[in-house]
Structure 1
Amino acid sequence: MSRLGFIVAFISLQLLFVPQVYSLGASHLCRSYCGNVTVEYPFALRSGCGHSGYRDLLFCINDVLMFHISSGSYKVLNIDYAYRSITLHDPHISTCDSIVLGHKGNGFVVENWRAPYLSPTSDNVFMLLGCSTQSPLFQGFPYGKHSPCRNVSGMGCDEYYGCQGWTDLGLARMGLAYGTGPPVCCSLSFDAIKSVNLSKLECQGYSSAYTLAPLRVSGPSEWTYGIRVKYDVEPNNDSYCKACEATGGSCGHDVDRLGRLCICGSWNSTSNCDTIMKLSVGGTSSPADKLLGLFIATTAFWLTSFRT
């Protein structure tokens, strides 16, 4: 074979091989689906994908996406990437039709290291039910008048007392709303207590609802029940991720050091996947990557020899 023919053969082999390596770095590498819910940055189902603050958070079980934190497991109803919110369902949450007592509900408690990333939205009302007179909610009540109970986004216990679920329990509105002790229902925002821990708050159950602006509903029977959680990442991490995806990578993190990584198929970069030559810069190379480097170096040698 002539020298020119040999060079052409090498280049042809590279052209066949390069797309196989580089295409693995497509931005959909970490994108997953569970049922009808799309899972993408900052969330992930695969180890090393997504933001480290959301690791070991979502699990796909029989095509049902589950969200797990220290207070328990919740079904994920929706992830809204445009508004950065995730909607959760607790099977033991009280609604207007069904009041669930007996300490069965999860509440909502996140680990301290997750707190900067996850918090229920400001329009989400929590209604704590059947709390004891010794509950931290009512310290100093009624003499100190320090009860945190109040309406949130137009939703609160005054309306909730009219729900059919109370009547089914044999409790009438008048018996719930009036009395000498603390109220049977105490509505408040998550920011008011920072943690909906039913055991520590000594409450029998809870309800949670949120508004869907600009929809206007007539009462608690039409409220949307569930927990809507806002999520966030650092602004500089957003910029880093956009640069990574713009060059065909997927945003991820180092599972050991938790530092951010741009996943480029069979290799990782601490910056992005902008060129093939970054195979040995800021990341790890597989045997296939090293073989590709050898192809490039060999071709360069033969091209130089041919010109001379």
Structure 2
Amino acid sequence: MQMSLAVFVIFMLFLSTALQIESLSTLSPCPNQCGSTAINYPFGVDDGCGAPHYRKMLNCSGDLFFQTPSGNYKVKSIDYDKQTMTIYDPSMSTCTMLQPHHDFKMSDIQSVVIPPTSDTIFVLLNCSIDSPVLNHYRSLCFNFSGHSCDELYNTCTSYRVFHIGLGGYPPCCFTGYNTVKYMSMNILDCSHYTTVYNTDDLKGIGPLDWTYGIKMSYSVPNSGCERCQRSGGTCGYDTETEMMLCLCSGASNSTRECGA
């Protein structure tokens, strides 16, 4: 009799835990975490979650990745207050590692809704003297925070391979995202690139301590999401029409709020 009572108690505890887990999953129809990164509106990793403008841009496979036509880039952080996302390209060159040449490309919609910030600089390395940015489009190159190509080449061990004897080093170019948006690395005639963000804070700081990566700014669509969230729902959209939906507990969804 005592054994049966003990088994019954264990069963009830198990059932209670299972119901709590089921309830939590029901109340959260969209994943709100990927690794250590919170997933909040307007983003979503499941189709139908978040805002349709950012549909299929994020992928959670252990870590959070930002998906573009040129590859997947690890998300370093999302600042929901400042509405910025910082990503890192594991295939780009850095001050200590030289990587094979490739392009960074975003889709047309990505370039509009989540473009790189103005304080994100693309550094084009080992450029030919015939490069467009050194001739007809030389106005696209600029200095930032007092830094120069010579400083970059002389400081970074990975770039010393570009040394061309008594002539020193080949040209480089500090430029903005629009340059690489409209011209590929082959057209630019530069063999490698790296990216640096928060450049306004890098005056007097050497290349070894620069913040490497790409910071992007996004906007939150005014779609009535706050009303949905106040009612206990999760903001999403219809995958066929891409119209806003308020995802509620159970199988019921609403166009505006839960419990209406």
Q: Answer yes or no: same fold by TM over 0.5.
A: yes
Conserved 8 A contact 2:236-2:247: yes
- Give matches, 1:252-291, under 5 Å: 252-265=236-249, 266-273=251-258, 275=259, 278=260
The CA deviation string for residues 63-113 of structure 1, in whole angstroms up to 9 with x for no partner, is: 12121101211111111111111111112212222233x42x3x4321112
Conserved 8 A contact 1:94-1:205: yes
The CA deviation string for residues 208-242 of structure 1, in whole angstroms up to 9 with x for no partner, is: 111277676521111011111112233x23xx111
TM-score (norm 2): 0.78
Conserved 8 A contact 2:133-2:139: yes
**Would the alpha carbon gap of residues 114 and 35 (structure 1) be closer, same or farther in structure 2, given more than 3 Å must change?**
same
- Give matches, 1:76-95, under 5 Å: 76-95=75-94
DSSP 3-state at the match of 2:121: strand
Conserved 8 A contact 1:153-1:211: no
Paired letter, 2:244: R
Question: Is residue 242 from structure 1 mapped to residue 226 from structure 2 by the alignment?
Answer: yes
Conserved 8 A contact 1:217-1:223: no
Give the equivalent residue in structure 2 for 1:202. 189
Q: Aligned equivalents of 1:232 and 1:74: distance in 2?
A: 20
DSSP 3-state at the match of 1:73: strand
DSSP 3-state at the match of 1:88: strand
CA shift, 1:126, in A, is 0.5
**Would the alpha carbon gap of residues 264 and 111 (structure 1) be closer, same or farther in structure 2, given more than 3 Å must change?**
same
Q: Aligned equivalents of 2:165 and 2:154: distance in 1?
A: 6
Q: Aligned equivalents of 1:64 and 1:76: distance in 2?
A: 8
DSSP 3-state at the match of 1:162: helix
**Would the alpha carbon gap of residues 114 and 170 (structure 1) be closer, same or farther in structure 2, given more than 3 Å must change?**
closer
Q: Aligned equivalents of 2:218 and 2:135: distance in 1?
A: 32
Give the equivalent residue in structure 2 for 1:8. none
Q: Aligned equivalents of 1:176 and 1:158: distance in 2?
A: 9
Give the equivalent residue in structure 1 for 2:207. 220
- Give matches, 1:31-42, under 5 Å: 31-42=31-42
Paired letter, 1:268: N
DSSP 3-state at the match of 2:225: helix
DSSP 3-state at the match of 2:229: helix
Conserved 8 A contact 2:104-2:180: no
DSSP 3-state at the match of 2:108: coil
Structure 1 portions without partners, runs of 5+: 1-20, 178-182, 279-308
Paired positions, count: 240
Q: Aligned equivalents of 2:48 and 2:225: distance in 1?
A: 14
Structure 2 portions without partners, runs of 5+: 1-21
- Give matches, 1:116-265, under 5 Å: 116-140=112-136, 146-165=138-157, 168-169=160-161, 171=163, 175-176=167-168, 184-191=171-178, 194-195=181-182, 197-211=184-198, 218-234=205-221, 236-237=222-223, 240-265=224-249
The CA deviation string for residues 163-197 of structure 1, in whole angstroms up to 9 with x for no partner, is: 232564162797455xxxxx531111224554573
Pairwise CA RMSD: 3.1
Q: Aligned equivalents of 1:189 and 1:139: distance in 2?
A: 17
Give the equivalent residue in structure 1 for 2:14. none
TM-score (norm 1): 0.67
